[in-house]
Structure 1
Amino acid sequence: MRLPIDRDPKCPFDPPQGLQGLPPMSRLEFADGHQGWLATTLEAARTVLGDPRFSARTELKHSAVRSTMPDGGRRPAPPGFFAATDPPEHTRYRRLLIGQFTVRRMRLLEPRIERIAADHLDAMAAAGPPADLVTAYALPIPSMVICELLGVPYEDHAFFQDRSLQIVTAGGDVDGAMADLGAYLHTLVRRKRAEPGDDLISGLTGDLTDEELATAAMILLVAGHETTANMLSLGTYALLTSKKKYEEGMVEELLRWLAIVHLGAPSRAALEDVEVAGEMVKKGETVALSLPMINRDPEAFEDPDTLRPDRPDARRHLSFGHGVHQCLGQQLARIELSIGYRALFDRFPALRLATTDVPLKHDAAVYGLTRLPVTWD
């Protein structure tokens, strides 16, 4: 089977059509013709992501969707690209970075995130309805927060947001965008070495080379705003269209129900023969994971297609991954989403869609909205 990448526009929150009823591990023909696998259940996915016999290295994996890069993206990751490394190399990067994203440190950012959210809501209120929630609120909040955390000047946000979009969009100029961001961040790293500040990049100049630090910062910069921004806007859209009120503690259920990372990502390559869910994955075969299906696994979640604010086991979702590569910034994302949703609906309790014409991003690795026109009384 080939991987269907589009969700039904009539049911934009449901997993891609054509995946329903599949076994935990199904044969999948990848874009380059590779015969690999697709994992669709929570148990199978946790096995693949948690087993060291599966590799995250890009030169070993095949892409489930067609790549615009000449080599299909199958090349060794540059130094510092910790998301595409295995232990012990990954362990070294992880130990250096994990201390920057502890729960305690993220909670210290809460007053600043609340201030950023309030400032943008003030601006929305002053301008009056309607407003595009993506550009006025959902995108600026995580962008400003990750910029301040890394030490990246926010006045350059238009540049890095454009390049980030190229990286996560199917058919985008990934190589060009990464080269542009890499050059920009190399210059910034050198500046931080000469004039360090109170930020993550400055704090790591003594542990990583310029290339390693610029590459690691690029991953954090792109992931730190693109995913959270899409969750803020798409989660708001889901609540408005389903007529459900936002309730405290609802973030985990929204993360489970929406599963905005799709297109077969993440994936792993078998370093040796490994049995998963009764199927033998041969050495060299790639396993892609369908997070929309995994987070709707009926064996793991009761009534999985229903958005339930009180779901007790929602946190079992794999939207932040699993194993040694579990998302570094997950605590920051949780705080941003919790503050973002709460502040928005507290300020505008009568918030509603201004139009039914809401464009969905079907061709991006991060599923979301290009704009979200809203209005209020």
Structure 2
Amino acid sequence: MKINIKNIRLKRICATLFISLFLACNNGVIEELEKRKSFADSLINIGHNFQEIFTSFGNAMGDALGFSAVTSDDKRSKVGEHFKTIGNGLTETKKKLDDLSKNIASTSYADTKGIEAVNNAIKRANDVFDNLTNALTKLFGAVGNTPIGDTGAAAAVPAEVTSVKDIIEGVKVIVEAAINSGVKIAKGNSGSAVEKGNTAAPAALNAASSAAGSGATAALAVKVSEADPWAMIDKIKDATTSGLGDANDNNAGQLATANASDNNGAKAATTADLAAAVALKAMTKTGKFSHAASEDNAVKAAAVSSVNKVLGVLDLIIRQTVLKKLEKVREAVKGITYSDTAGEADQGGSIQTTVTKK
């Protein structure tokens, strides 16, 4: 029997080549699986970090509790502490987003377009958070340190114009930031005009030379309780601080920063304007209310209620704004896809391509 040595050698060579190719393919598959696992693990870690941001900000806002932030025994500085707490929460959220951006930028095998989209979303969010923080800083600086329901010896005392202007400006910035972020801000129900009179609600706010008549403070407390807090925010945002007229339809800023010409107070354009003016006077510097003998408790009730309404709505607006921006970041994160391009971040957070397979 004649053996063909050439055929045997050829078959061995083919077998060797086949095995080599098979092993090489397996190695490629394993390498690809390892890359995808690394990418998936990174996304899981990013998800945990992002959830921590939501939780952290939620806790900060939860601790603030705007609708019950102050009590009748508190000084106006308590309002400042409230603004500071929220501002600190925003600053911490911004810091965590910056950290998240760095983590995402260093994620291996993530597509560069996805990384860029996340970084852009984070930048836009942080720009809004900066605006909110600056507004809260302005609000913090505007508050006084006297009792919230402080009263004069007889006549009312106007609130400091600069402080009131700062509150108006701060509220306006917060509302505009919310609207630009896609938050719907309700105008609320402003209510009807509130006429002046020595025993009517406006007298307790800005009676000129002697105490408001009996029952004026109780009437003020009733009007504040009736006021729509969303309408109060709207009135503060659009308020001015000059041109008070006793019989005019005066806005919140005018009512808070000036006294009437007599002890009947000045007419308020709406219930919301009157209640907003009470909040402005109760939060800012120098402002005092007027009351008849033994009626100071009603003044305190009106002041505390008005301030808590304003703080409560501001908290809701800020919360909704932050959640809108965080949701945009979440959507961008969800858009990150796997790429077989390995990359690493430079110091600026951008992706530098190091290996590319075609």
Is the TM-score greater than 0.5?
A: no
Band the TM-score falls in, shorter-chain normalisation: under 0.3
| Greater strand share, structure number | 1
| Greater helix share, structure number | 2
Which one has more relative contact order, counting CA pairs under 8 Å at least 6 apart?
1
TM-score, length basis structure 1 = 0.23
